[in-house]
Amino acid sequence: MTTFGFIGTGHLGSMLVRKFVETGAIDEKDIMASNRDLAKARRLAAEAGIQVGSNRDVADQSDVIFLCVRPLDVKGVLGELEDLLVADKLLISVAVDFPLKELQRLCKARAARVIPSIACENLLGVSLLAMGNNAALQDKELIFSLFAALGDPVEVPEDHFEVLAD
């Protein structure tokens, strides 16, 4: 059984949680989320039936961790969790403008970046995916299966994200 954590429950993090649960891509009992505003995380938990914890709880108890924080906050969150983001964890960042190379430099977790479009909320969007050099084929398959529930995942070179996201 795979457990999933979401660090950051702003618009994008909340949308991913809600849609993964609604589509059955992830069972709500397998999701834990955190947010710097605990009330926001609790509202999402009440709506989606997930668990709430601290960033450290999420990183410790999850096999797959979605990093859904602002790019300016990524380094601080990774620093806080450095001892928990180990090689048997998969870290999926949705932060724009924070490259895989930096993610891999700051933690030992296997890494990937996904840029979902806003249309994923209507299960129609394209999600751009780039895999880190330490990610396994099973990681790619898992990410593709998750984001296929929200639309069309497409693997592209990370340096194409900006132009393709437009």
Strand arrangement, sheet containing 64-67: 51-52, 31-34, 4-7, 64-67, 90-93, 110-116, 125-131, 151-155
Supply the pTM of this predicted model: 0.94
pLDDT tens-digit series, residues 115-127 = 998 878 888 888 8
Mean pLDDT computed over 62-67: 98
Q: What's the pLDDT at 164?
A: 58
